[in-house]
Amino acid sequence: MTRTDLAKDGKYDGWQVVDPTPQEKSDSVYCCGPAPVKAILDGETDLKYDVPFVFAEVNADCIDWLCKADGTMTKMLSDTKSVRQNISTKAVGSNTRLDITDKYKYKEGTEKERTVFKYALSRNNEKRDNDGTTNSTNGTSPGGIVPRPKIYMQFKEVSKPKDGEDVSLKLVLNSESRTARPVSINISVQAMRYNGSPVENIQSEVKEETLLPGKDLSIPILVPFLVYHKHMVHSDSMKISAVVTDKLEPKNVYLAVNDVILLDPPISITTPSLARVNQSTTAEVVFMNPVNKTLTDCTLTISGSGIVDGEQKCILPDLKPSHRFRVTFFLLPKKTGKKTLLADFDCSSFRDLKCTCIVNVQP
């Protein structure tokens, strides 16, 4: 778009950000944009429309809080790097991902990026902590007492997490402390929506362990399929959190979080490589039940612009463990060119298992 409303020299012409599903009001109206990408890159947060909001979206920090039983909240971690790493769009003429991160912000951690960030805050008259560090509630002791060394934690995958299989990880703790440190480890697993809000708790456990000096402490974590599957049918990810409390100094509390995206079980769709307009052809969908549980309420939906009239939906019988189905659909292409055929499978344990194939339709 040309933005003569913002500058006569064309400085803010070009790509604009528009969100068709805004979640907040702007000047009392649910809208977002058009905000010039150039203004977001340069931190011009005093410009309309909604440049401050979009700038915040691509420069956000993730803050973790510990909510206590009495209602008080303690800041645990401030992650300054996980947001804004991969701003993407679909490439023109193909289904590949095009990285446009550098159009929205300068490289993370560079002097230019920091300068723009501070400039944006000043333009929007906001006062925020901008030290760019990762903080924790521990590590401060009154009276000049040397604080105990921090406890460092990370999750490690034992195997790739796949929907239909048990999820196995381990939590590894270590510290530079020269003495043994008894710790309490509270591990919780939650099913999460796409927007990061929890659906419900899957499981939780508390372990009492001792972290020895100079050694890693490895805590195995197992989330069985039969425990998580009913919670994950309508969820998008699984969040595993570990809150570790130093029992000798209970004010020292540490947090580690791991977001688990389950890999879908395989499903395939095939069709002849060539098809012709107004000539019938077929497509075959194959799926095998990967779990030790009979799948019920099975439905398969086929769609594809120019090759399927609307959607074809098929209700399938129950599928026993290690059994598979082969479903054949008849297609009647109406348009020439490369068309995408989509299959979508739903059942009692899985939702929206999708696969696609390309159909080259000739005259």
CATH number at residue 126: 3.90.260.10
The reply to whether 73 falls in a domain is yes
Same domain, 238 and 282: no
The reply to whether 41 falls in a domain is yes
The reply to whether 142 falls in a domain is no
Residue range 78-135, pLDDT digits in tens? 777 777 788 999 999 888 999 999 999 998 878 998 899 888 888 866 434 433 433 3
Same domain, 24 and 121: yes
274-276 vs 353-362, strand pairing mode: parallel
Question: Model-level pTM?
Answer: 0.71
The reply to whether 140 falls in a domain is no
Residue range 300-337, pLDDT digits in tens? 999 999 888 888 999 999 999 999 999 999 999 998 99
The reply to whether 333 falls in a domain is yes
CA 243, CA 249: separation in Å to the nearest integer? 14
Kindly report the CATH number assigned to the domain that includes residue 193: 2.60.40.10
Residue that is last in its domain, among 260, 295, 327: 260
Average pLDDT score, the chain:
88
Residue that is last in its domain, among 225, 260, 295: 260
**Domain residues for 293?**
267-362
Determine contact, residues 35/51, Cβ cutoff 8 Å: yes
Domains of the chain: total: 3
The reply to whether 152 falls in a domain is yes
